[in-house]
Chain A
Amino acid sequence: MAIDDIYSAGIASGWKVLDAATFTAPRTLDADVAIIGTGAGGGIAAEILSEAGLRVLLLEEGGLHTSNSFRDMDEARAYRDLYQEAAARATADGAIAVLQGRSVGGSTTVNWSSSFRTPPRTLAHWASEHAVTGHSEADMAPWFARIEARLGMAPWAMAPNPNNAVLKRGCDQLGWESHVIPRNVKGCWNSGYCGFGCPVNAKQSMLVSTIPNALAHGATLVHRVRVRKLDHDGKAVHGLTGEALGFDGYTPTGVTLSVRARHVVVAGGAINSPALLLRSGVPDPHDLVGRRTFIHPVNLSIAEMPELIEPYYGAPQSIASDEFQWRNGTTGPMGYKLEVPPMFPGISAGVLNNFGDALRREMAALPHTNAMLALLRDGFVPDSPGGRVRVADDGSPVLEYALSDYVWDGVRRAWLSMAEAQFAAGAKRVRPAHLDAAWYTSWPQARDAIQTLPLKPFRALLFTAHLMGGCAMSDDPARGVVDSQGRHHHLSNLSVLDGSVFPTSIGANPQLSVFALTAQNVMSLSARITA
């Protein structure tokens, strides 16, 4: 059966969608609001501003890829078309692999659909420690509710797939807290392919929800265009300059795009938003841009289970545990959330990072493999200052992230928790994703061995899929790039509306935090512009 890819009919009916790869001569575009980036922040902003009657221009570095190309359900194609740096992005030294989206819809096109409200403790911490106002639990509640309704978010009603069931069973056996994950899906087929672009448009990414609605309200979308620089005079932004990228999605064609706009919204996400501000030389008297970039460092534990897991099929994330998230308060030793990742052959090879007969045996065991991950909550104490985004000679972003003893302590405890849960769930053997770890056949053996694993970059295999911060919000200009409403402290008509404004990490998968905070802040922006 054919799935309506939404865009073919929309474009035929007059949607303004331009592929910059086809531009052969310089272009100039005008808009009331130019939005840079079409992910969780840009998508929500585009819908609300275009519904308010404003002329909205969306600019996206990645390509427009729709369910027509997702129907192959292929891992290699997805990494190539839908992820930053073909899913090979990493921190500057290569020690932490970065999974981040890069196409129309941004990371919402490829995320695993987990939809958590910002934890109340995180919001309270922002208010008390980072001079953030207007975003208390009570302030945010209606915005969460609005987004949950808009994007079909509800706790997953079907049984968890076997991979998630391992986490549930382990927690139950040990008396640990666990909960069902809310997902942003409508008519989900439970295929498991969220990470490769939903082949049936069930996942309510920006690609299939807010952006089509914005286009229907007259917005213009230009994709395969990289915004190089904001043009400003130190007080206001007058426009911006972009470069068209070729059909390969990466090579500039030499054709430039100039945009004039009354207001500019930066929504490139953490890493790319601060990099744009740095390239543009926006006023930054307190040297804040790019600093305090948080990543929820992720470590993993791999288990071989007696039962068939098929960790590639079924809703990829449906169970999570906060047993270790807040037990030491907000600012104690590092807290973490436990979840599972889907394990397709390519990502599995990357996580196993092994070779020869050992890799051959581990890959052959994939149908019986469970993997567990910990999202480590960074940024809540001085010992966890996060990373820093800089720009390379050519203007591309570089993320430096040093691993402090505070983080390493969390990494070790998380390996212990994961191995304990996997054995409690019946694992035959468990191996932490660490070069020096062996396959352990009992919890006591694993516990003793994990205590001695050297905590060093590259020996410990670390990942991130959650990029946050770098353009932190604070009402105190000495501590924030933007204020609590996302307004830049120095350029009057510039807003940042994406995950880069978070003053710390979230402590949960961040998409709903980005959606709701953006919706709230863009409503006040809309009111100011249309007043």
Chain B
Amino acid sequence: MPRPATTAPPRAQRPSRSSRPSRPSRPSRRAFLQVGAGFSAAIACSALFPTLTGCTPADAPPQAGMAFLRPADVTLFRALLPAIASDLAAADAATRETRLAAAVKNIDRTIAAMDQNGRGELRKLLDLLASTPLRWAVAGVRSPWEQATPDAVRAFLARWRASRFETLNAGGVVLVKLASVAYFVLPGTWAASGYPGPNPAVYRALHS
């Protein structure tokens, strides 16, 4: 798979073991990764200092109509979907909105059906990405998700998937999987995958 040219080589950010730790008051990407555990350390920070980092409070309710996703999560996935499913860019506004809403709904239902362990891991990941300092520091995305361009989002995904930190790889893989599966199961997208729909002869016989 060719990596976008915008991918920052992960090793460029790898701190040397002898370098002095950054001061914790400077929440740069480098500082967090330098803690040594990358994602896990960042998550620990977000759990310890939710008010400082702007994390969603742990008891924030899901967005209306959703079972799991909070408003900030919905915003994130609405930014991820056009970056992952790039044919959304060519869709007219009404189609685009219909598909985004349906795909986000699919993602919500899927996560809501997960057991405690899976839901808990997703919650940590989504809270991290909802936090402004951690979005900057760990995801390397400067603009809020609702303003992030598809190219910027793809660069973020490519960085995480190319990282030497397994946990960032995991985040990059699970976000792509959730969004792409939720999108391509939508009947409206079948033309984009060349899928003619349910086996025509059998379907016709069953519905005649």
Chain B minimum-CB-distance residue to A361: B86
For the complex, is B1 an interface residue (Cβ under 8 Å from A)?
Answer: yes
Interface string of A55-90 (1 = CB under 8 A from B): 000000000000000011111100110000111111
Name the B residues within 8 Å of A458 (CB-CB). 166, 169-170, 173
Proximity bits, B83-108, A CB within 8 Å = 1, else 0: 11111000000000000000000100
Which chain B residues lie closer than 8 Å to A365 at the CB level? 194
Cβ of A43 under 8 Å from chain B:
no
B2 and A358 contacting across the interface, CB-CB below 8 Å: yes
In the complex, whether A364 has a CB less than 8 A from a CB of chain B is yes
Min CB distance B205 to A, Å, is 6
Q: Pick the contact of A95: B115, B170, B181, B206 (CB < 8 A).
A: B170
Q: Which residues of A contact B161 (CB under 8 A)?
A: 435
Where chain A touches its partner, the secondary structure class is: loop
Given the known interface contacts A85-B115, A438-B2, the answer about A1 and B83 at a Cβ–Cβ threshold of 8 Å is no
**Chain B residue contacts of A355, Cβ below 8 A:** 83-84, 86, 154, 157, 176, 180
B20 at the interface (CB under 8 A from A): no
CA distance A355 to B115 in the complex (A): 27
Do A354 and B176 contact each other (CB < 8 Å), given the known contacts A349-B181, A349-B183? yes
Interface centre among B109, B110, B154, B177 (most CB of A within 10 A): B177
Binds B, one of A173-181, A186-194, A499-507: A186-194
Question: CA of A365 to CA of B183 in the docked complex: distance in angstroms?
Answer: 17
Q: How far, in angstroms, from A193 to B205 measured CA to CA in the complex?
A: 15
Interface size on A, residues (CB 8 A): 69
A439 and chain B: residue at smallest CB distance: B1
Does B193 sit within 8 A of A, measured CB to CB?
A: yes
Give every chain A residue within 8 A of B115 (Cβ-Cβ). Answer: 85, 89, 392, 396-398
- Interface size class, chain B: 35 or more
Q: List 30 A-B contacts (CB under 8 A).
A: A71-B206, A73-B202, A74-B198, A76-B106, A79-B110, A85-B115, A86-B114, A87-B110, A93-B170, A94-B174, A95-B170, A191-B199, A312-B199, A348-B193, A352-B180, A353-B180, A355-B154, A356-B83, A356-B84, A356-B86, A360-B87, A364-B193, A396-B115, A396-B116, A396-B117, A398-B117, A435-B1, A457-B169, A457-B170, A458-B170
For the complex of A and B, the 5 pairs showing the least CB-CB separation, nearest first, are A86-B113, A73-B198, A346-B185, A349-B180, A458-B169
B interface residues with partner A (beta carbon < 8 Å) = 1-2, 4, 83-87, 106, 109-118, 121, 150, 154, 157, 161-162, 166, 169-170, 173-174, 176-178, 180-181, 183-187, 189-190, 192-195, 198-199, 202-203, 205-208
Excluding A346-B184, A358-B1, 6 further A-B contacts by CB distance (< 8 Å) are A79-B185, A88-B110, A249-B113, A354-B1, A456-B166, A458-B169
Give chain A's interface residues, CB within 8 Å of chain B.
1, 3, 71-76, 79-80, 85-90, 92-95, 97, 189, 191-193, 199-200, 249-250, 312-313, 344-350, 352-360, 363-367, 392-394, 396-398, 431, 435-439, 456-459, 461
